[in-house]
Structure 1
Amino acid sequence: MSVTAQTVWNNCLEFIKDNIQPQAYKTWFEPIKAVKLSDNALSIQVPSKFFYEWLEEHYVKILKVSLTKELGEKAKLVYVIKMENTYGNKQPFTEKIPSSNRTAVKAQDVDIPLNNKSPELRNPFVIPGIRNVKIESQLNPNYSFENFLEGDSNRLARSAGLAVAAKPGGTSFNPLLVFGGVGLGKTHLAHAIGVDIKDKFPEKTVLYISAEKFTQQYIESVKKNNRNDFIHFYQIIDVLIIDDVQFFSGKSGTQDVFFHIFNHLHQNGKQVILTSDKAPVDMQDIEQRLLSRFKWGLSAELQHPDFETRVSILKNKLYRDGVEMPDDIIDYVAKNIKTNVRELEGAIISLIAQSSFNKKEITIELAKQIVEKFVKNTKREVSIDYIQKVVSDYFQMDIDTLQSKTRKRHIVQARQLAMFFAKKLTKASLASIGSQIGKRDHATVLHACKTVDNLSSTDKQFRKYVEDITKKLSV
């Protein structure tokens, strides 16, 4: 009976699964595919160079043990890296790299397409005197790795951030895209990477900017007819950090100019760090050529912190503020506020303030009062106005457009979603919801809710809209 690559790899996975943490297994081993078995050499396909580097650094021993168990002492492991095909070639790019647990030469070297420099970017015009002008980094020194506590929810993103800070532009995770919901620490991590780079490499030009501000600057440069100066200014940055890159959705001019800036920085070994509230695959109205570049490096998700991480965050916050608090109270706050780090810290600040101002001892009773009020206040924010704002922002339109009489399909759907969430999350009557969302009647609201229910069960894309907006409105 012949043994297949898949059989060997499945047996290796069984052994690995029993010997590492479930989260690590899910992150680093589930995405791997068995490709080929030739003599004693097993070829496995990994999604990126970053994956290969991480496996070699952290899991090479367990890979060697599991493979030797299956194929004997002469076992070899070869990584096949599948690269993004962005230049219309018929064949995907692959690169085979033997594992370091057996010495061997590279089986095949392939130039990654990003080495094809476009002529106009080879010798960019530099604004006269710009190199003599000190560019302020716009970084917040309070956001550091020291107070960005590690947990299962952020370990991948934090580790990648540290690696980038140690060798900006010199790792496979360029760009580094950090994505996740509100208040989970995307901006904090982006600043922390920048701050660490400035400490280690003071000579490097680091710039943090929000995508919204970048867009405003671009619009201004077009008005003043100095678009090229705008591009060339950004091309001299060594480490460019852009926050909330999803803001580029639907803005074709901004996307085009960022595409040129990104290409130039990447080709010249400069580091690009991006944050977003969603993964590249979920970004609406972003050009495919830009999305493919986002995927060149690493996309790391920040998830909701687990209980242990929430406790650590609170203890770290109290330590930094020089405040002592009993463990049972810290545990109570951590158990009851689960949504995000910002709210967690806000609750503990409120608790300290109440205790200090009213000269009350910090007790469980006081903690219950504060947490209850805090949670209620948070929930009170979900008003019909707030729902309309979230839905409008999600679909990149203003509230007037959402409420307008137009029958364009995407606007009608956005309006129907706003009505659906207003009915679901508020106590307002159908008539009141209709009145506030474009002066419609209660029958229109009822029809909207039925339409959303129907489309959610039949249209995959529409179901995604509902899931995304639900996350944004969850408190």
Structure 2
Amino acid sequence: MSKTAASVWGNCLSFIQDNISEQAFHTWFEPTKATKLDGNILTVQVPSKFFYEWLEEHYIKLLKASLQKELGKDAKLIYSIVMEKKITNKDPYTVNIPSSNKEKVLKQELDAPLSSNKIKSPFAIPGIQKLKIDSQLNINYSFNSFIEGETNRLARSAGKAIAKRPGGTSFNPLFIYGGVGLGKTHLAHAIGLEVKEKHPEKTVLYVSMEKFSNQYQSATRSNNRNDFVNFYQMIDVLIIDDVQFLSGKKGTQDVFFHIFNDLHQRGNQLVLTSDKAPVDIQDVDQRLISRFKWGLSADLQIPEYELRLEILKSKLEKGGIELDPEVTTYIAKNIKTNIREIEGALNSLVARSVLNRKEITVDLAEKVLSDLIKNQRKEISIDYIQNVVCDYFKIPVEKVQSKTRKRDIVQARQLAMYFSKQYTNASLQSIGTQIGKRDHATVLHACKTVKNLAETDKVFKGYVDDLRRKIGIAE
């Protein structure tokens, strides 16, 4: 039986698959296709120039061994590289390059004029021959201005470790999550800035998921998808802010999945931020969610009093503002939601003092911040919900927090979880932790149980309606 290009390459692929990981084979070899066999010369089509470079750099010995096994010691490999269509070409075209000719090809840019085939970067600095990336980092968001406290220590420590050895720790990806104004973006920038300081040879890029998605859509419309993918695969430390905006965007999810895989396999660092824990992000492919959990997920929680006080002192020192310690203490004790609110409260107080030419006193702080503090007190917490539920059923909070499986206790616990999910921005994981140290799956089950019982059991529906009224008028 005579050999064909397909049969030879099929045998080579079987040999290669036995010698590399399943994921590597799926990523780098499944998209290839044999197109021609001429004696001992096999032509294999690859999806892009980047594929060709990657195979030559990482799998050349394996490719050589598999081909020689099939075609003898004089076997040769030619890559047929799919190129994107250009202005002068209505259709995609291919360029043939012999194996082990990589250096020569990289100096030429594949048979096409230099200007027409360069990777297009939305962040490239014009006029520089070598591709140089504008990192998009904010120099004001450094580790020096990110105050450490109990509620952010894990995330900050992991960020510092990554800055020392990007891609060299077990925190890859680092997934930072938490509510609005708790410092996720600040920490992400701080990591990038310190990487650039300690490893100037590394290419660092910060980009929001919204911008990433818009760039991908633009690249798709202009038939530059390969350029888009190739560009992001060149980044050593990729920082993506607000990854929850992947929700519902299937095309963006697919391309980000492949970019994520490629960077992770090569040991490049990924830092991701979100307002939700990975398990709570809706409408995102599970294969992506599982990858978000590969490294470390670290949450930023509402800052404790000591941290709020330190943040205020830092802001005052930076702004050259002198404030009575009693006023500083008053703000720290009463503005509790997030760092942004603390900054806003301080700015409002200073502005009112300057406009009215009044000294900043505790009395002035009480007047200026009264509305803000009143609104904060109306905010509903998980603790408040637990107390309302326990008071309603005349059950001690300790019982709900315990491991007991008594029916009435379980019911109260599930209702507390259900209303915490409805009335707070806390993640399922955070709710479970605060209500008896349960996991996110228990909270999800509780929410479904309460919803089902409320639809089928009139007595239980009465409990739900009563509790909703009680929680809804929280002061």
Equivalence map 1:118-197=2 (5 Å):
118-119=28-29, 121=51, 123=53, 128=118, 132-197=130-195
Paired residue type of 2:271: I
Which secondary structure does the structure 2 equivalent of 1:209 belong to? strand
Match of 1:256 in 2: 254
Q: How far apart in 1 are the matches of 2:317 and 2:363?
A: 22
**Letter of the aligned partner of 1:215 in structure 2?**
S
- 1:293 equivalent among 280, 291, 294: 291
Once residues 214 and 129 of structure 1 are traced to their aligned partners in structure 2, the CA distance between those partners, rounded to angstroms, is 16
Residues 126-159 of structure 1: per-residue CA shift (max 9 Å, x gap): 9626672321111110001111111110000000
- Change in Cα spacing, 1:368 to 1:232, as seen in structure 2 (3 Å) is same
Report what 1:334 is aligned to: 332
> Closer, same or farther in 2 for the Cα pair 1:267/1:458, shift >3 Å?
farther
Residue pair 1:179, 1:302 contacting (<8 A) in 2 also: yes
Report the CA distance between 1:224 and its aligned residue.
0.9
SS at 1:300's partner residue? Answer: strand
Equivalent position of 1:219 in the other structure = 217
CA contact (8 A) 1:164 1:193 kept: yes
- 1:338 Cα deviation after fit: 0.4
Q: Where does residue 368 of structure 1 map in the other structure?
A: 366
- CA displacement at 1:458 relative to structure 2: 5.6
- In 1: Cα distance, 2:293 partner to 2:52 partner: 24
TM-score, normalised to structure 1, is: 0.55
Greater Rg by CA: 2
Structure 2 counterpart of 1:271, from 265, 269, 280: 269
The answer to whether the 8 A contact 1:114-1:267 is kept is no
Q: Deviations over 1:187-239 (max 9, x none)?
A: 11001101111111222211111111111111111111111111001011111
Give the whole-Å Cα distance in 2 for the aligned partners of 1:198 and 1:374: 39
Shift of 1:456: 7.9
SS of residue in 2 equivalent to 1:352? helix
Q: After superposition, what is the alpha-carbon deviation per residue over 1:63-91, rounded to whole angstroms, capped at 9, x for unaligned?
A: xxxxxxxxxxxxxxxxxxxxxxxxxxxxx
Give RMSD over aligned pairs. Answer: 3.3
Secondary structure of the residue aligned to 1:299 is strand
For residues 234 and 280 of structure 2, what CA distance do their matches in structure 1 show?
A: 31
Structure 2 residue identity aligned to 1:236: M
Conserved 8 A contact 1:137-1:208: yes
1:325 match: 323
The one-letter code sitting in structure 2 at the alignment partner of 1:334 is: A
User: In percent, how many aligned pairs have the same letter?
Assistant: 58
Note the C-alpha offset of 1:375: 3.9
| Aligned partner letter, 1:123 | E
Structure-2 separation of matches of 1:267 and 1:295: 15
Aligned residue in 2 for 1:208 = 206
Structure 2: distance between partners of 1:291 and 1:360: 53
* Alpha-carbon distance, 1:278 to partner: 0.7
Q: 1:367 to 1:277 in 2, by over 3 A?
A: same
Residue equivalent to 2:451: 455
Unpaired segments of 5 or more residues in structure 1? 1-110, 382-419, 426-451, 460-473
SS in 1 for 2:193: helix
Residue deviations 1:27-68 (CA, integer Å, cap 9, x gap): xxxxxxxxxxxxxxxxxxxxxxxxxxxxxxxxxxxxxxxxxx
Q: CA deviation at 1:281?
A: 1.1
Matched to 1:276, the amino acid is: S
Describe the SS at the equivalent of 2:143: coil
Q: Deviations over 1:158-196 (max 9, x none)?
A: 000000111111111111000001110101100110111
Name the CA distance, whole Å, in 2 between partners of 1:122 and 1:113. 19
1: CA distance between counterparts of 2:318 and 2:340? 16
Gaps of 5+ in 2: 1-19, 32-50, 55-80, 82-105, 107-116, 121-128, 380-418, 425-447, 456-473
Alpha-carbon spacing, 1:114–1:155, altered in 2? closer, same or farther (3 Å): farther
